């Protein structure tokens, strides 16, 4: 039980660390990323090093909701997202912001309408998979519930079926890792579970080729299956937390979100004790995030 708790906490803190590590390099091409990577030395949007983006903000909303409600309550998650949006945060994804403002303004079926109005070319962003990992940690003991819950979480803002597939795959891997499954088996099992869903075969390909045959820093860098694919790829290789995150950020593209998902996965694999202490010291609101992770772990083992 202690190991499970440490992996849940590692997942949540790992997400925030990955987000903050990648934020200063967001949307850069691979060749523009410094080598060696200056970890937690640069700020983001005029903020000090260690600040995180909307990825972590929305993940914290999810963590609090799960811990307090003891289940996935999408209405409660929406309420928390709208309260956060009302604070005028420095960064909100375009798709996420449009849908949340639609919900706020009582637009019927705002997420579904976005897909029908804008089309599949731009409706499969990574704004739901970026914060979905805590749901997998919460459901480690009951992963069968994720088949319904992960797509429902995605559909709050990201209705596209490929987004739902990405969320399901990532949460299934997180759940397996938190339970203590081997990393390669966890990834292979999740990919097999989503293979027949929309985007499943492409995800399988990207787990092998993201960052290799398929670069992550092109015009479609925010594609949800890119983010899920690179996270699952690195996790399947079982690399250390720091090595995995440095590699993912070095690939360029949507670095904060790719690293947030990878950080959550590697944190679930290795546990809180494997997270770099020097990075944790610089993580903004570290104590509050850790307290929320502890509460999530308690709810997951209740």
Q: What is the pLDDT of residues 129-188, one digit of tens each?
A: 999 999 999 999 999 999 999 999 999 999 999 999 999 999 999 999 999 999 999 999
Contact 111, 99 (CB under 8 A): yes
What DSSP character marks residue 24? G
CA dist., res. 300 & res. 302, Å (int): 6
Q: Token pair of 289, please?
A: 């995030």
**Residue 1 confidence (pLDDT):** 62
- Other Cβ atoms closer than 10 A to 212: 12
Q: Is the pLDDT of residue 107 over 80?
A: yes
Nearest to 67 by CA among 299, 291, 301, 302: 299
Q: Token pair of 123, please?
A: 């409706």
Q: Is the pLDDT of residue 297 over 70?
A: yes
198: CB partners within 8 A, 6+ apart:
161, 162, 165
Q: Is the pLDDT of residue 121 over 80?
A: no
**Residue 118 confidence (pLDDT):** 83
**Residue 288 confidence (pLDDT):** 98
Percentage of the chain exceeding pLDDT 90: 94
CA Rg, the chain, in Å? 17
Residue 282 pLDDT grade (very low, low, confident, very high; cuts 50, 70, 90)? very high
12: CB partners within 8 A, 6+ apart:
59, 63, 133, 134, 137, 264, 267, 289, 290, 292, 293, 296
Residue 114 pLDDT grade (very low, low, confident, very high; cuts 50, 70, 90)? very high
Mean pLDDT, rounded, of the chain: 96
192: CB partners within 8 A, 6+ apart:
none
Helix ranges (DSSP H) in 94-180 = 94-104, 110-118, 133-138, 146-154, 161-179
**Residue 235 confidence (pLDDT):** 98
Nearest to 131 by CA among 103, 94, 93: 93
Residue 117 pLDDT grade (very low, low, confident, very high; cuts 50, 70, 90)? confident
Average pLDDT over residues 94-121: 92
CA dist., res. 202 & res. 74, Å (int): 28
Q: Is the pLDDT of residue 2 over 90?
A: no
**Residue 186 confidence (pLDDT):** 98
Average pLDDT over residues 59-79: 98
Q: Is the pLDDT of residue 262 over 80?
A: yes
Q: Is the pLDDT of residue 17 over 90?
A: yes
What DSSP character marks residue 119? -
pLDDT in tens, 74-93: 999 999 999 999 999 999 99
In this prediction the pTM is 0.98
Contact 42, 251 (CB under 8 A): no
């Amino acid at each position: 039980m202690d190991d499970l708790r440490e992996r849940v906490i590692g997942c949540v803190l790992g997400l925030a660390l990955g987000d903050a590590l990648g934020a200063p390099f967001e949307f850069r091409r691979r060749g523009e990323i410094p080598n060696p990577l200056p970890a937690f030395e640069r700020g983001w949007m005029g903020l000090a090093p260690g600040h995180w983006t909307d990825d972590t903000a929305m993940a914290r909303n999810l963590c609090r909701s799960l811990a307090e409600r003891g289940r996935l309550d999408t209405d409660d998650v929406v309420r928390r997202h709208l309260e956060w949006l009302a604070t005028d945060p420095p960064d909100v994804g375009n798709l996420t912001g449009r849908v949340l403002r639609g919900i706020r303004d009582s637009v019927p079926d705002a997420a579904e309408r976005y897909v029908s109005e804008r089309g599949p070319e731009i409706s499969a962003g990574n704004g739901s998979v970026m914060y979905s990992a805590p749901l997998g940690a919460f459901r480690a003991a009951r992963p069968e519930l994720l088949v319904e819950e992960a797509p429902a979480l995605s559909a709050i803002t990201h209705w596209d079926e490929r987004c739902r597939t990405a969320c399901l795959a990532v949460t299934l891997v997180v759940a397996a890792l938190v339970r203590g499954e081997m990393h390669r088996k966890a990834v292979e099992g999740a990919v097999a579970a989503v293979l027949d869903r929309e985007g499943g075969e492409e995800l399988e390909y990207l787990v092998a080729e993201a960052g290799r045959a398929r670069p992550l820093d092109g015009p479609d860098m925010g594609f949800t299956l890119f983010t899920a694919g690179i996270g699952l790829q690195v996790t399947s290789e079982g690399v250390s937390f720091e090595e995995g995150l440095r590699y993912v950020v070095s690939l360029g593209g949507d670095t904060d979100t790719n690293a947030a998902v990878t950080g959550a996965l590697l944190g679930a694999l290795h546990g809180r004790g494997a997270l770099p202490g020097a990075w944790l010291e610089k993580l903004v609101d570290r104590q509050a995030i850790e307290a929320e992770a502890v509460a999530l772990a308690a709810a997951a083992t209740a």
